[in-house]
């Protein structure tokens, strides 16, 4: 049965095969399990469903993303153990959010105008603000600079038509995705400017300033509101803002608005022909040799550059040179002088070293070289006198 | 490069300087010491004049300074650091991935250097839209409001009182592989596939919090918003919120790193990384989607189908890549007939990896590889294949499939379906060209 399946998949379009498989899957759970064993599963309708792997959420609705879910069955979800009681317990912490708190943080602006405050600003004012606060990144007339985003690609209505362009087969004219040509809702612009711009100082613009800058951006995209071109003297306010019709309003799938929104998304991702899926062919999957596309212009200005070296990093610039006695101290002397417990003057103990130094530096050197009390000559090493002195100098430094 | 990594590098360099000086000291000290002669060889009695054998490894015969002196005290590096010899294992970036500056950019994970399925926190990829903030957790709050009977505010301590859940999931930027829709551009696995990482996360299911808050029936969407410079927002369908979306504070056993949203971030398992809003401060429930800035300006995928763009593209599709060999880790010092392991990563945001097929001729013929280690949903999964090295040119491709029934498409199938202008969600079969010498380059197969 499954060979004929594969032929159908290969010979028919993916859409058709998914419909076919979907029917099989829904026929009965036994059938679904048989299908699941086949290694030629194609698309979400062929999920390996069982009690512990489902195509639905807890409320019985189909998944929204083309995937599967792992309900808790006998204290187990997928490979994980779960404490079911913990998820059922009526745990509640925190405090009620006050009206002021919500007002302070509820900064989003929705397409229907929810969150959009009153205010107004002209294109002329917007241009002035743009020249002082925006131009350094977004360039003259929103043309962009460096890799900062362009705010316009020309007339929004004309540029919207570039969305069908594909840069294949020598066509280098790609789609122009800017605010005017691409975005489905103007509310996003207001929200973006208010809470995210200017980039180094977000939330610093007044509502009127945001209206003014929005008006300027509509102007450089050569857009109309209610049939009227947004020219230099145009004054934008809340009422006019809500009348903006974006040229690419219908350029997006699936449709997410309205009470059916999530169900549209569900249906969209249930159909792999919308975003692609493979076929598990194992032998002679195409004619002739593989057609290889190689790198034309490699991007390799990586920070830091790639390296497999297992090496010590270079010393940092301006790093202080280490005291020449430090390494010797750590190797030979720290065993006793690194701790109070041995009775030896400890490294960094100012009081102990002050007492030692009362004898004079030369006596300290001499005692270290020839030994005194618990201190063996040269600390039991065979280091040269100069090296011992270097170590003493280091220990004196550390106690300063 | 960001400041944090510069500081880390400086610390490593300081350690290195110290090591070098200690080695110098050892050499000098040895010259002064009567025991110097025996100290340079571990042979029991140097006076026996053991005959040198050209096959001798001097690394075995010579004493090493680190075995003849004290090491660092336990008081050093109270928070541990990698060996300074590992300083090249680091996140990296490149200018074309930036939206203007290094605060609106991405630093990607060196997946060529990772073992197993867990990404160390310091190497977890970092995408941000306005830099990494340093947030005082004592002053941070989470507000949950909108279409709920009881809107609340939680301190971080209060949030952590909820029953916690620990899960291993990848986070993948949907632009992983995105610069290569029209052909390969990076001769590097780190840049071709490193816009992702995998970690063990600890936090609370959002459904466990809101079940006591009276979510209203008409609530279909949830806005998640961060409190950093960018105030990043994303709309998540309530269906997913009530399934497995979490607010997380723990990553691989410790607090989230600042780059990962400290003190808390949203985790939407399997879905686009940008939905996992970092520095999370607010969840608002509503009956209509929000159209936050990056939902339009960035994370929509333009298709060739009438110029329509996919919006609300959620799960990262099933995908795989060979990590060894790869351009950064070519095959070296192999003889014909040697058996060598080909290893890689497979992952799916829609379910659990069921299997991976491997091809040596660019996808004309395939064999099944083995999965190994933990096989978890919406997590990296390791695969393995033992290959007999023959010193010939290969086109090494892998094709993963998941339990949701998805199979990785070929590059051709994917381009035929959605075109080449999508930027996001590219999961076409990845291929390395392996030369007879063992060098590895990034190619795409158009058959």
Judge if B80 and B116 occupy the same domain: no
- pLDDT surpassing 60 at residue B33: no
Quick check: A37 contacting B, CB < 8 Å?
Answer: no
Is A276 within 8 Å of B240 when comparing Cβ atoms? no
Structural domain count of chain B: 3
B394 to chain A: which residues are within 8 Å by CB?
Answer: none
Judge if B82 and B112 occupy the same domain: no
3-state secondary structure B68-135: HCCCCCCCCCCCCCCCHHHCCCCCEEEHHHCCCCCCCEEEECCHHHCCCCCCCHHHCCEEECCCCCCC
The region that residue A258 occupies, defined by phi over 0 for left and psi between -120 and 50 for alpha, beta otherwise, is left
pLDDT band at B366 (very low <50, low <70, confident <90, very high): very high
Judge if B270 and B121 occupy the same domain: yes
Judge if B295 and B170 occupy the same domain: yes
Q: Is B338 within the bounds of a domain? A: yes
Using DSSP, state whether B168 is helix, strand or coil.
Answer: strand
* B26-34, Cβ contacts within 8 angstroms, sequence gap of 24 or more: B26/A327, B26/A331, B26/B65, B26/B68, B26/B69, B28/A387, B29/A328, B29/A331, B29/A381, B29/A383, B29/A387, B32/A382, B32/A383, B32/A384, B32/A387, B33/A381, B33/A382, B33/A383, B34/A382
Of B86, B109, B144, which residue sits at a domain end? B86
Judge if B330 and B225 occupy the same domain: no
- pLDDT surpassing 60 at residue B431: yes
Strand B309-310 and strand A252-253: pairing? parallel
Distance CA B439, CA B428 (A): 22
Q: Is B214 within the bounds of a domain? A: yes
Q: Give the fold, CATH level 3, of A112-241.
A: Cytochrome Bc1 Complex; Chain D, domain 2 (1.10.760)
pLDDT at A371: 87
Spans in chain A with pLDDT lower than 50: 1-41
User: What does pLDDT average to over chain B?
Assistant: 92
Domain of residue B361, CATH code = 2.60.40.650
Question: Is residue B219 a contact partner of residue B147, using CB atoms and an 8 Å limit?
Answer: yes
Is A259 within 8 Å of B287 when comparing Cβ atoms? yes
Q: Is B307 within the bounds of a domain? A: no
pLDDT at A7: 37
CB under 8 Å to B306, separation ≥6 — which residues? A164
- The first and second tokens of residue B419, run together, are 């075109």
Which 8-state DSSP code applies to residue B139?
A: G
Judge if B250 and B106 occupy the same domain: yes
- pLDDT surpassing 70 at residue B230: yes
Instruction: Report the percentage of chain B scoring pLDDT > 70.
Output: 89
Quick check: A100 contacting B, CB < 8 Å?
Answer: no
Same CATH topology for A112-241 and A326-398?
Answer: yes
Distance CA A242, CA B75 (A): 63
A338 to chain B: which residues are within 8 Å by CB?
Answer: 73
| Closest chain B residue to A48, measured at CA | B403
The alpha-carbon gap from B42 to the nearest alpha carbon of chain A, in Å, equals 19
- pLDDT surpassing 70 at residue B16: no
Is A149 within 8 Å of B99 when comparing Cβ atoms? yes
Judge if B29 and B66 occupy the same domain: yes
pLDDT at B21: 56
Is B403 within 8 Å of A163 when comparing Cβ atoms? no
Of residues A341 and B283, more confidence is placed in: B283
Pick from A55, A188, A298: CB nearest B296: A188
Judge if B29 and B163 occupy the same domain: no
Judge if B273 and B202 occupy the same domain: yes
pLDDT at B3: 43
B223 to chain A: which residues are within 8 Å by CB?
Answer: 108
Which ipTM was obtained for this model? 0.90
Is A89 within 8 Å of B309 when comparing Cβ atoms? no
Distance CA A122, CA B114 (A): 55
E strands, chain A, in order = 76-77, 80-81, 95-96, 120-122, 224-225, 228-229, 235-237, 252-253, 292-293, 302-303
Q: Where are the domains of chain A?
A: 2-88, 112-241, 326-398
pLDDT at A25: 35
Is B444 within 8 Å of A293 when comparing Cβ atoms? yes
pLDDT at A222: 98
pLDDT band at B345 (very low <50, low <70, confident <90, very high): very high
Judge if B281 and B400 occupy the same domain: no
Quick check: A190 contacting B, CB < 8 Å?
Answer: no
Is B405 within 8 Å of A280 when comparing Cβ atoms? no
User: What CATH number was assigned to the domain covering residues A326-398?
Assistant: 1.10.760.10
Judge if B353 and B410 occupy the same domain: yes
Judge if B7 and B82 occupy the same domain: yes
pLDDT at B26: 45
The alpha-carbon gap from A15 to the nearest alpha carbon of chain B, in Å, equals 11
Domain of residue B293, residue span: 96-299
């Amino acid at each position: 049965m499954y060979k004929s399946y594969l032929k159908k998949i290969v010979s028919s379009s993916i859409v058709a095969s998914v419909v076919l498989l979907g029917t099989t899957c829904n026929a009965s759970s036994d059938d679904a399990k048989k299908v699941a064993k086949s290694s030629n599963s194609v698309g979400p309708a062929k999920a390996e469903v069982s009690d512990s792997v489902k195509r639905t959420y807890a409320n019985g609705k189909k998944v929204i993303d083309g995937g599967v879910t792992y309900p808790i069955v006998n204290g187990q979800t997928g490979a994980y153990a779960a404490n079911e009681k913990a998820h059922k317990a009526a745990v509640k912490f925190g405090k009620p959010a006050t009206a002021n708190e919500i007002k302070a943080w509820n900064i989003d602006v929705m397409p229907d105008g929810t969150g959009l405050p009153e205010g107004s600003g002209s294109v002329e004012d917007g241009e002035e603000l743009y020249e002082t606060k925006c131009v350094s990144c977004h360039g003259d007339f929103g043309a962009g600079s460096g890799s900062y985003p362009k705010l316009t690609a020309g007339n929004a209505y004309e540029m919207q038509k570039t969305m069908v362009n594909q840069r294949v087969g020598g066509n280098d004219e790609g789609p122009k995705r800017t605010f005017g040509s691409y975005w489905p809702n103007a509310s996003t612009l207001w929200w973006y400017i208010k809470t995210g711009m200017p980039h180094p100082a977000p939330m610093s613009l007044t509502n009127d300033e945001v209206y003014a800058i929005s008006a300027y951006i509509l102007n450089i995209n050569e857009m109309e509101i209610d049939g009227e071109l947004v020219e230099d003297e145009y004054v934008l306010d809340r009422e006019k803002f809500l009348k903006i019709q974006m040229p690419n309003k219908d350029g997006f799938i699936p449709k997410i608005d309205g009470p059916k929104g999530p169900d549209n998304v569900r249906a969209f991702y249930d159909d792999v022909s919308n975003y692609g899926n493979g076929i598990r062919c194992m032998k002679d999957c195409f004619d002739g040799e593989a057609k290889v596309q190689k790198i034309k212009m490699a991007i390799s200005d990586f920070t830091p550059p790639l390296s497999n070296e297992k090496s010590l990093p270079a010393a940092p610039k301006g790093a202080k040179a280490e005291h020449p006695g430090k390494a010797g101290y750590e190797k030979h002397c720290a065993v006793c002088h690194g701790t109070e417990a041995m009775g030896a003057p400890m490294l960094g103990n100012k009081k102990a070293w002050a007492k030692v130094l009362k004898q004079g530096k030369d006596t300290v050197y001499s005692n270290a070289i020839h030994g005194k009390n618990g201190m063996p000559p040269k600390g039991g090493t065979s280091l040269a006198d100069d090296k011992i002195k270097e170590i003493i100098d280091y220990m004196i430094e550390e106690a300063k | 490069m960001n400041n944090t990594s510069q500081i880390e590098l400086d610390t490593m360099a300081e350690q290195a300087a110290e090591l070098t000086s200690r080695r110098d000291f050892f050499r000098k000290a040895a010259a002064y010491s009567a025991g110097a002669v025996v100290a340079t060889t571990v042979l029991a009695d140097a006076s026996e004049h053991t005959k040198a054998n050209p096959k001798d490894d001097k690394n075995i015969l010579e004493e090493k300074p680190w075995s003849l002196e004290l090491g660092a005290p336990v008081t050093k590096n109270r928070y541990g650091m990698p060996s300074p010899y590992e300083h090249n294992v680091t996140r990296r970036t490149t200018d074309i991935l930036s939206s203007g500056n290094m605060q609106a950019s991405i630093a990607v994970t060196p997946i060529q250097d990772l073992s197993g399925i867990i990404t160390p926190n310091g190497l977890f990829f970092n995408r941000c839209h306005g830099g990494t903030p340093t947030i005082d957790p004592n002053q941070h709050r989470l507000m949950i409001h909108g279409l709920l009977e009881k809107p609340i505010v939680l301190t971080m301590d209060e949030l952590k009182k909820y029953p916690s859940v620990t899960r291993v999931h990848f986070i993948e930027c949907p632009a992983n592989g995105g610069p290569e829709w029209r052909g390969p551009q990076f001769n590097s696995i780190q840049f071709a596939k490193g816009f992702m990482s995998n970690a063990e996360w600890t936090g609370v299911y959002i459904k466990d919090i809101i079940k006591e808050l009276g979510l209203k029936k008409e609530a279909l969407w949830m806005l998640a918003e961060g409190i950093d410079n960018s105030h990043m927002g994303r709309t998540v369908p309530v269906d997913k919120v009530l399934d497995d979306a979490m607010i997380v504070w723990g990553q691989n056993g410790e607090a989230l790193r600042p780059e990962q949203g400290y003190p808390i971030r949203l985790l939407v398992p399997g879905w686009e990384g940008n939905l996992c809003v970092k520095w999370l401060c607010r969840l608002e429930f509503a009956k209509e989607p929000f159209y936050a800035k990056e939902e339009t300006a960035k994370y929509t995928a333009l298709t060739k189908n009438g110029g329509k763009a996919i919006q609300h593209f959620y799960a990262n599709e099933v995908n795989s890549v060979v990590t060894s060999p790869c351009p950064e880790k070519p095959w070296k010092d192999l003889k014909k007939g040697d058996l060598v392991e080909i290893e890689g990563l497979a992952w799916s945001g829609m379910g659990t990896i069921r299997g991976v097929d491997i091809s040596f001729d660019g996808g004309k013929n395939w064999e099944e590889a083995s999965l190994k280690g933990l096989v978890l949903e919406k997590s990296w999964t390791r695969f393995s294949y033992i290959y007999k090295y023959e010193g010939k040119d290969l086109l090494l491709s892998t094709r993963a499939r998941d339990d949701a029934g998805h199979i990785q498409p070929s590059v051709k199938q994917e381009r035929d379906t959605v075109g080449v202008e999508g930027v996001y969600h590219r999961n076409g079969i990845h291929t390395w060209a392996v030369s007879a010498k063992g060098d590895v380059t990034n190619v795409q197969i158009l058959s």
